A and B are shown apart, each in its own frame.
Chain A
Amino acid sequence: DAMVIQNPRYQVTQFGKPVTLSCSQTLNHNVMYWYQQKSSQAPKLLFHYYDKDFNNEADTPDNFQSRRPNTSFCFLDIRSPGLGDAAMYLCATSRATGGYGYTFGSGTRLTVV
Protein backbone atom coordinates (compact mmCIF):
# COMPACT_ATOMS: atom_id res chain seq x y z
CA ASP A 1 0.00 0.00 0.00
CA ALA A 2 1.14 3.54 -0.74
CA MET A 3 2.01 5.24 2.46
CA VAL A 4 4.02 7.69 4.52
CA ILE A 5 6.67 6.08 6.71
CA GLN A 6 8.43 7.76 9.57
CA ASN A 7 11.56 6.47 11.20
CA PRO A 8 12.26 5.92 13.94
CA ARG A 9 8.95 5.52 15.75
CA TYR A 10 10.57 6.57 19.02
CA GLN A 11 13.72 8.61 19.39
CA VAL A 12 15.56 9.52 22.56
CA THR A 13 18.22 12.19 22.33
CA GLN A 14 20.36 14.10 24.76
CA PHE A 15 19.85 17.75 25.48
CA GLY A 16 21.79 19.70 22.85
CA LYS A 17 22.70 16.70 20.72
CA PRO A 18 21.64 17.04 17.06
CA VAL A 19 18.98 14.63 15.92
CA THR A 20 17.46 13.81 12.55
CA LEU A 21 14.02 12.39 11.92
CA SER A 22 13.16 10.89 8.56
CA CYS A 23 10.06 10.56 6.44
CA SER A 24 9.56 8.67 3.21
CA GLN A 25 6.54 8.38 0.93
CA THR A 26 5.48 6.07 -1.86
CA LEU A 27 2.58 8.27 -2.96
CA ASN A 28 4.65 10.45 -5.29
CA HIS A 29 3.04 13.53 -3.75
CA ASN A 30 4.46 16.94 -4.53
CA VAL A 31 4.11 18.40 -1.08
CA MET A 32 5.63 17.21 2.19
CA TYR A 33 4.99 18.73 5.60
CA TRP A 34 6.42 18.57 9.10
CA TYR A 35 4.14 19.14 12.07
CA GLN A 36 5.03 19.20 15.75
CA GLN A 37 2.44 17.94 18.22
CA LYS A 38 2.93 18.30 21.95
CA SER A 39 0.89 16.38 24.48
CA SER A 40 -2.84 17.21 24.36
CA GLN A 41 -2.28 19.92 21.75
CA ALA A 42 -3.12 20.21 18.08
CA PRO A 43 -0.47 19.58 15.42
CA LYS A 44 1.52 22.73 14.66
CA LEU A 45 2.94 23.25 11.18
CA LEU A 46 6.71 23.77 11.14
CA PHE A 47 7.40 23.92 7.39
CA HIS A 48 6.54 22.35 4.08
CA TYR A 49 8.08 21.64 0.70
CA TYR A 50 6.25 22.08 -2.57
CA ASP A 51 8.55 19.99 -4.73
CA LYS A 52 11.93 21.56 -3.86
CA ASP A 53 10.43 24.88 -2.82
CA PHE A 54 10.88 25.24 0.94
CA ASN A 55 8.33 27.18 3.01
CA ASN A 56 9.10 27.98 6.62
CA GLU A 57 6.39 29.04 9.07
CA ALA A 58 7.20 32.41 10.64
CA ASP A 59 7.26 31.08 14.19
CA THR A 60 9.31 27.95 13.53
CA PRO A 61 12.49 28.21 15.63
CA ASP A 62 15.82 28.39 13.81
CA ASN A 63 16.78 25.25 15.70
CA PHE A 64 14.59 23.30 13.27
CA GLN A 65 15.73 22.70 9.73
CA SER A 66 14.60 20.43 6.94
CA ARG A 67 15.97 18.77 3.84
CA ARG A 68 14.21 17.16 0.92
CA PRO A 69 16.82 15.48 -1.28
CA ASN A 70 14.22 13.94 -3.62
CA THR A 71 10.47 13.48 -4.03
CA SER A 72 10.32 10.49 -1.72
CA PHE A 73 12.30 11.63 1.30
CA CYS A 74 12.19 14.50 3.73
CA PHE A 75 14.24 15.01 6.89
CA LEU A 76 13.73 17.09 10.00
CA ASP A 77 16.94 18.20 11.70
CA ILE A 78 16.89 19.57 15.21
CA ARG A 79 20.26 21.17 15.72
CA SER A 80 20.29 21.53 19.50
CA PRO A 81 17.25 19.88 21.05
CA GLY A 82 15.93 21.38 24.24
CA LEU A 83 13.54 19.86 26.74
CA GLY A 84 10.75 21.90 25.16
CA ASP A 85 11.26 20.13 21.84
CA ALA A 86 9.99 16.84 23.21
CA ALA A 87 6.94 16.07 21.11
CA MET A 88 5.45 13.89 18.43
CA TYR A 89 6.72 14.92 15.00
CA LEU A 90 4.34 14.18 12.16
CA CYS A 91 5.17 14.05 8.49
CA ALA A 92 2.40 14.45 5.94
CA THR A 93 2.12 14.53 2.17
CA SER A 94 -0.39 15.80 -0.35
CA ARG A 95 -0.67 16.27 -4.10
CA ALA A 96 -1.12 20.01 -3.76
CA THR A 97 -0.88 22.48 -0.91
CA GLY A 98 -4.61 22.94 -0.46
CA GLY A 99 -5.73 20.68 2.33
CA TYR A 100 -7.44 17.99 0.31
CA GLY A 101 -6.44 14.52 1.34
CA TYR A 102 -3.32 14.87 3.45
CA THR A 103 -1.74 11.51 4.29
CA PHE A 104 0.05 11.49 7.62
CA GLY A 105 2.69 9.13 8.88
CA SER A 106 2.42 7.54 12.31
CA GLY A 107 4.85 10.04 13.75
CA THR A 108 8.13 9.97 15.65
CA ARG A 109 7.90 10.55 19.36
CA LEU A 110 10.98 12.49 20.45
CA THR A 111 12.17 12.42 24.04
CA VAL A 112 14.94 14.77 25.17
CA VAL A 113 16.89 13.75 28.24
Chain B
Amino acid sequence: LAKTTQPISMDSYEGQEVNITCSHNNIATNDYITWYQQFPSQGPRFIIQGYKTKVTNEVASLFIPADRKSSTLSLPRVSLSDTAVYYCLVFSGNTPLVFGKGTRLSVIA
Protein backbone atom coordinates (compact mmCIF):
# COMPACT_ATOMS: atom_id res chain seq x y z
CA LEU B 1 0.00 0.00 0.00
CA ALA B 2 1.25 3.45 -0.88
CA LYS B 3 2.04 5.52 2.20
CA THR B 4 0.33 8.91 2.33
CA THR B 5 1.61 12.10 3.90
CA GLN B 6 -0.57 15.13 4.56
CA PRO B 7 -0.31 18.16 6.86
CA ILE B 8 -1.32 17.48 10.44
CA SER B 9 -3.44 20.61 10.69
CA MET B 10 -4.62 23.66 8.76
CA ASP B 11 -6.51 26.79 9.68
CA SER B 12 -8.73 28.81 7.38
CA TYR B 13 -11.18 31.67 7.57
CA GLU B 14 -14.77 31.24 6.54
CA GLY B 15 -15.40 31.85 2.88
CA GLN B 16 -11.89 30.96 1.75
CA GLU B 17 -10.92 28.12 -0.54
CA VAL B 18 -8.94 25.43 1.24
CA ASN B 19 -6.49 23.14 -0.51
CA ILE B 20 -5.15 20.09 1.30
CA THR B 21 -2.31 18.32 -0.45
CA CYS B 22 -1.44 14.70 0.08
CA SER B 23 1.70 13.01 -1.17
CA HIS B 24 1.74 9.37 -2.17
CA ASN B 25 5.07 8.82 -3.88
CA ASN B 26 4.74 5.05 -4.09
CA ILE B 27 1.31 4.94 -5.68
CA ALA B 28 0.88 1.94 -7.95
CA THR B 29 -0.66 1.87 -11.40
CA ASN B 30 -3.88 0.27 -10.19
CA ASP B 31 -4.31 2.48 -7.13
CA TYR B 32 -7.08 5.03 -6.68
CA ILE B 33 -7.10 8.07 -4.42
CA THR B 34 -10.00 8.78 -2.13
CA TRP B 35 -10.75 11.37 0.54
CA TYR B 36 -12.93 11.07 3.62
CA GLN B 37 -14.15 13.64 6.13
CA GLN B 38 -14.71 12.93 9.80
CA PHE B 39 -16.51 15.08 12.35
CA PRO B 40 -15.97 14.47 16.08
CA SER B 41 -17.85 11.44 17.41
CA GLN B 42 -19.00 10.38 13.95
CA GLY B 43 -17.81 7.86 11.40
CA PRO B 44 -15.83 9.07 8.37
CA ARG B 45 -17.81 10.17 5.33
CA PHE B 46 -16.79 9.68 1.71
CA ILE B 47 -16.06 12.96 -0.06
CA ILE B 48 -14.47 12.26 -3.43
CA GLN B 49 -12.38 9.77 -5.37
CA GLY B 50 -10.21 9.89 -8.47
CA TYR B 51 -7.57 8.19 -10.56
CA LYS B 52 -6.03 11.04 -12.51
CA THR B 53 -6.62 14.64 -13.66
CA LYS B 54 -9.53 16.40 -12.02
CA VAL B 55 -12.73 15.24 -10.41
CA THR B 56 -15.44 17.57 -9.13
CA ASN B 57 -18.63 16.94 -7.21
CA GLU B 58 -21.04 19.11 -5.25
CA VAL B 59 -18.77 19.12 -2.21
CA ALA B 60 -15.16 19.30 -3.43
CA SER B 61 -12.68 19.00 -6.25
CA LEU B 62 -9.77 16.62 -6.47
CA PHE B 63 -6.71 17.48 -8.53
CA ILE B 64 -4.28 14.74 -9.46
CA PRO B 65 -1.18 15.59 -11.52
CA ALA B 66 0.02 13.38 -14.32
CA ASP B 67 2.62 11.57 -12.19
CA ARG B 68 -0.07 10.85 -9.54
CA LYS B 69 2.49 11.17 -6.74
CA SER B 70 0.30 13.70 -4.99
CA SER B 71 -3.28 14.88 -4.92
CA THR B 72 -5.01 18.03 -3.72
CA LEU B 73 -8.44 18.21 -2.18
CA SER B 74 -10.02 21.60 -2.78
CA LEU B 75 -12.91 22.82 -0.65
CA PRO B 76 -14.50 25.98 -2.07
CA ARG B 77 -15.65 28.72 0.31
CA VAL B 78 -15.42 26.80 3.57
CA SER B 79 -17.81 27.40 6.44
CA LEU B 80 -17.54 26.66 10.16
CA SER B 81 -19.29 23.35 9.53
CA ASP B 82 -16.35 22.17 7.42
CA THR B 83 -14.21 21.94 10.54
CA ALA B 84 -13.25 18.27 10.57
CA VAL B 85 -10.43 15.80 9.97
CA TYR B 86 -9.77 15.03 6.31
CA TYR B 87 -8.16 11.75 5.36
CA CYS B 88 -6.36 11.01 2.11
CA LEU B 89 -6.27 7.31 1.26
CA VAL B 90 -4.81 5.26 -1.56
CA PHE B 91 -6.28 1.90 -2.36
CA SER B 92 -6.33 -0.82 -4.98
CA GLY B 93 -9.20 -3.00 -6.00
CA ASN B 94 -9.06 -5.68 -3.35
CA THR B 95 -7.60 -3.97 -0.33
CA PRO B 96 -9.63 -2.37 2.45
CA LEU B 97 -9.09 1.26 3.33
CA VAL B 98 -6.19 1.90 5.68
CA PHE B 99 -6.35 5.33 7.30
CA GLY B 100 -3.33 7.55 7.85
CA LYS B 101 -3.13 10.43 10.28
CA GLY B 102 -5.36 12.90 8.44
CA THR B 103 -5.43 16.69 8.39
CA ARG B 104 -7.35 18.55 11.07
CA LEU B 105 -8.97 21.57 9.41
CA SER B 106 -10.15 24.37 11.65
CA VAL B 107 -12.36 27.02 10.07
CA ILE B 108 -12.41 30.31 11.89
CA ALA B 109 -15.15 32.92 11.71
Contacts and interface: CB of A to CB of B under 8 A. Distances in A.
Interface stretch (B14-22, B59-67, B69-77, B84-92): B84-92
Given A42-B101, A44-B99, A45-B97, A99 B43 contact: no
A98 B32 contact: yes
B95 A98 contact: yes
Interface string A81-93: 0000000101110
Contact of B94 (A44, A97, A101, A109): A97
A98 B94 contact: yes
B51 to A, nearest CB: 11
Nearest to A48: B96
Contacts of A99: 32, 34, 49, 89, 91, 95-97
Contact of B95 (A43, A97, A107): A97
Interface residues of A, number: 27
7 contacts: A99-B34, A99-B91, A99-B97, A101-B46, A102-B97, A104-B45, A107-B41
Given A101-B49, A106-B43, 15 more contacts: A31-B96, A42-B87, A42-B100, A45-B96, A45-B99, A48-B96, A88-B41, A90-B44, A97-B93, A97-B96, A98-B95, A100-B49, A102-B46, A106-B42, A107-B41
